[in-house]
């Protein structure tokens, strides 16, 4: 196994109504502090698995499908919850930000499983007082300024290429297209940094070029299994595509006729950056005890281990570093020629397999 999902509580299991968010901090720490010194013997064993994991992630674009879903959920949350002043002179009044709440703060009171009490919608389901003209939204689970979690039930788009056409109005069928159930933490009225849940044979199309199937067709992709992800310290709402997101997946990925079964993997990606992928490689008997990072960055490949960062090539089966030959910085690590005044930056093979 390249990493472990036992740390992500409730992943792939029957979860309670509002389950506790999984603790992904040990996974995040493993990325920051690799513990293994990588050499020929390790790469002989792990190179093929690293390459297969990268192919499954990149070809399926599972990270894009999940981040699009989270973006939509955040937008739905923002549009469906009321914001009111908490404290101050305008306590209880509708607001858009703290500037509307002299001496107080603008927050969200979200009600899950609420029912209208009084008014024209008495007895109907509601999420906020705005759903209950002349009444109040009461009962259920109330999350003031909310902290807690909520559930998103998503029917996947399926493999019908017409979904990219303007005016396409077919409602997806979970029996044919599969579904995703996600739980998300809530922080200050929006989705918090941790999201987790399960996919049940979720089917979706991956355009081979561009954003639809017209140019070069689409690949039929699917995912079945558990997932957890961390949106990072900088997430406060807004554009998810710019974030470095840490994923943990455990399940089966399919792209056209290629099946990647039992993928148990953690990886990092930025949706807005093409060909950027960092894989956590876990090689110890004890989860997260012996790890290193394999990085795909544009046209380069890198390993970050306990000793530092150096170049590598899965295709050519060798790893290397760059050292200054001659000049004032002779023997020092370099990236470009300017790092070596009066000398040259030379590639040096470290090991092959």
The string of DSSP letters for 17-67 reads SSPPPP--HHHHHHHHS------HHHHHHHHHHHHHHHHHHHHHTHHHHHH
- Predicted pLDDT at 293: 98
Distance CA 129, CA 81 (A): 9
Distance CA 280, CA 26 (A): 12
CA angle 307, 311, 313 (to 5 degrees): 130
- Predicted pLDDT at 79: 61
Q: Is residue 329 part of a domain?
A: no
Distance CA 7, CA 9 (A): 6
Distance CA 78, CA 191 (A): 9
Residue closest to 146 by CA, chosen among 175, 108, 184: 108
* Contact predicate 109/91, CB 8 Å: no
Tokens 């310290």 belong to residue: 233
Q: Is residue 338 part of a domain?
A: no
Q: Is residue 166 part of a domain?
A: yes
Q: Is residue 119 part of a domain?
A: no
- Predicted pLDDT at 292: 98
* Contact predicate 76/68, CB 8 Å: no
Q: Which helix (H) or strand (E) holds 79?
A: helix 62-80
Q: Is residue 188 part of a domain?
A: yes
Q: How many independent structural domains does the chain possess? A: 1
Burial 223-242 (b: 16+ CB within 10 A, else e): bbbbbbbbbeeebeeeebee
Q: Is residue 216 part of a domain?
A: yes
> The domain containing residue 178 runs over which residues?
1-81+148-290
Q: Is residue 70 part of a domain?
A: yes
- Predicted pLDDT at 92: 74
Distance CA 128, CA 135 (A): 10
- Predicted pLDDT at 19: 67
The neighbouring-strand residues paired with 97 are none
Backbone dihedral angles phi then psi of residue 260, each to the nearest 5 degrees: -110, 95
Residues 6+ positions from 188 with CB-CB distance below 8 Å: 107, 108, 145, 146, 236
Residue closest to 164 by CA, chosen among 194, 205, 219: 205
Distance CA 60, CA 56 (A): 6
Q: What are the mean pLDDT values of the chain's consecutive 10-residue runs (353 residues total)? A: 34 48 91 97 97 94 87 68 75 80 74 71 75 75 51 85 79 83 71 87 91 88 94 74 91 94 91 87 93 92 94 96 93 88 94 97
């Amino acid at each position: 196994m390249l990493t472990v999902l036992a740390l992500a509580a409730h992943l792939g299991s029957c979860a309670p109504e509002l389950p506790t968010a999984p603790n992904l901090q040990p996974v995040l720490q493993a990325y920051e502090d690799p513990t293994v010194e990588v050499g020929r013997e390790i790469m002989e064993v792990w190179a093929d698995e690293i390459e297969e994991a990268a192919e499954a992630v990149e070809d399926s674009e599972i990270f894009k499908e999940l981040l699009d879903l989270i973006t939509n959920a955040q937008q739905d949350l923002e549009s469906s919850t009321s914001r009111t002043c908490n404290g101050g002179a305008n306590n209880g009044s509708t607001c858009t930000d703290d500037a509307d709440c002299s001496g107080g703060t603008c927050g969200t009171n979200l009600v899950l499983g609420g029912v209208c009490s009084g008014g024209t919608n008495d007895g109907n389901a509601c999420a906020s007082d705005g759903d209950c003209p002349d009444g109040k939204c009461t009962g259920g689970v109330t999350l003031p300024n909310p902290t807690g979690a909520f559930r998103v039930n998503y029917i996947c788009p399926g493999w019908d290429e017409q979904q990219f056409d303007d005016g396409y109005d077919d409602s997806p069928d979970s029996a044919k297209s599969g579904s995703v159930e996600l739980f998300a933490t809530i922080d200050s009225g929006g989705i918090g940094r941790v999201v987790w849940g399960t996919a049940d044979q979720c089917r979706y199309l991956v355009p081979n070029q561009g954003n639809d199937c017209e140019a070069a067709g689409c690949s039929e992709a699917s995912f079945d299994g558990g997932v957890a992800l961390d949106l990072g310290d900088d997430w406060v709402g807004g554009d998810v595509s710019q974030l470095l997101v840490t994923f943990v997946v455990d399940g089966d990925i399919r792209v056209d006729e290629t099946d990647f079964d039992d993928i148990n993997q953690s990886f990092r990606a930025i949706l807005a950056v093409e060909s950027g992928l960092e894989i956590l490689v876990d090689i110890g008997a004890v989860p997260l005890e012996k790890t290193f990072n394999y990085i795909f960055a544009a046209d380069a490949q890198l390993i970050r281990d306990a000793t530092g960062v150096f170049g590598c090539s899965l295709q050519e089966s060798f790893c290397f570093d760059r050292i200054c030959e001659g000049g004032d910085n002779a023997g020092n690590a370099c990236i470009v020629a300017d790092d070596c005044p009066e000398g040259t930056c030379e590639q040096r093979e470290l090991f092959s397999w």
